[in-house]
Amino acid sequence: MHKLYYGIGACSFVPHAALEVIREATGEAYETQLVKLNRKEQATPEFLALNPNGQVPVLVVDGKPVTQIVAICDYLDRKYPQVNLMPADPWRRTEAMSLLAWMNNSVHPTFTHVFMPDKFTDNPEAQAELKRFNTAGYRALLERIQGMVAPADPWLFGDKLSFLDIYALVLFRWGGLAGIDPDTLPQYKAFVERVAKVPAVATALAREGAPLNMYRKPA
């Protein structure tokens, strides 16, 4: 059975919701293990033995850990192609993979500079500057995603919910944490509300227990 190590509201929500979509479609059960990121459980020797990067998600498959969302999504799609979490057509799949990589290697790290600037410098003034600069950059990236989700009918890659729709939800929520008012991105907000209503996504959201709207007005 697959076992997912996840954090509340973290990027691990992408495989978490996907595993739930798979469970609903195929009956394949999975286990979850919460890693309390605020308590630095990702830095314990036991967890570092699973993922030396000290990050969630980790998916354990037949006792072997796999890390990195792009690899985990690729594995789950190849294991359960009938669930269509990536498009089946080779070119559409490549387009989806390109978008997944961009979300993971460009949008996601921009937010990390806002949320965890201490990962990039130990100078408090530089941290404040990183936060300010990257909040603006993050907003611009969310606007680009809004341009992609606005015409989605109903999902980014057609009639099947994909990893991309779930990642779009995660990145939008983080905007709230970065002090970006969700109401200023109305088309993106409407899309995320739609994704959140998909029963499997709603189940995973309920398990994590964090609100969909994480907006914190900047001080």
Ligand X SMILES: N[C@@H](CCC(=O)N[C@@H](CS)C(=O)NCC(=O)O)C(=O)O
State the amino acid at position 40 in one-letter form: K
Q: Where are the beta strands (DSSP E) in 19-119?
A: 30-34, 58-61, 64-67
Query: Which one of residues 19, 56, 114, 192 is an interface residue with ligand X (CB under 6 A)?
Result: 56
- Contact letters for ligand X, residues 145-184 (x by CB under 6 A): ----------------------------------------
| Torsion sign across C-alpha atoms 138, 214, 187, 196 | positive
Residue partners of 74: CB distance under 8 A and separation at least 6: 86, 97
Q: Is 122 helix (H, G, I), strand (E, B) or coil?
A: coil
Chain residue at closest Cβ approach to ligand X: 55
CB closer to ligand X, 78 vs 219:
78
- Total of residues contacting ligand X (CB under 6 A): 13
Q: Do residues 10 and 37 make contact, with C-beta atoms less than 8 angstroms apart?
A: yes
Q: Contact between 10 and ligand X (CB under 6 A)?
A: yes
CB closer to ligand X, 11 vs 99:
11
CA distance 39 to 109: 21
Query: Which one of residues 18, 21, 22, 37 is an interface residue with ligand X (CB under 6 A)?
Result: 37
- Which residues from 59-98 bind ligand X, rule CB under 6 A? 67-69
Q: Contact between 195 and ligand X (CB under 6 A)?
A: no
Query: Which one of residues 2, 4, 6, 11 is an interface residue with ligand X (CB under 6 A)?
Result: 11
CB closer to ligand X, 10 vs 180:
10
Query: Which one of residues 33, 104, 187, 203 is an interface residue with ligand X (CB under 6 A)?
Result: 104
Phi and psi at residue 113, in whole multiples of 5°?
Answer: -65, -25
Name the helix (H) or strand (E) containing 3.
strand 2-6
Which window, 51-59, 140-148, 153-161, 189-197, contacts ligand X (CB under 6 A)?
Answer: 51-59
Q: 């939008």: which residue's tokens? A: 172
Which window, 52-60, 130-138, 190-198, 205-213, contacts ligand X (CB under 6 A)?
Answer: 52-60
Q: Contact between 42 and ligand X (CB under 6 A)?
A: yes
Residue 219 corresponds to which tokens in the numbers above?
A: 């001080």
Nearest to 11 by CA among 145, 86, 104, 134: 104
Whether the bond into 154 is cis, omega within 30 of 0: yes
Which window, 50-58, 78-86, 140-148, 182-190, contacts ligand X (CB under 6 A)?
Answer: 50-58
State the residues that interact with ligand X by CB under 6 A.
7, 10-11, 37, 42, 54-57, 67-69, 104
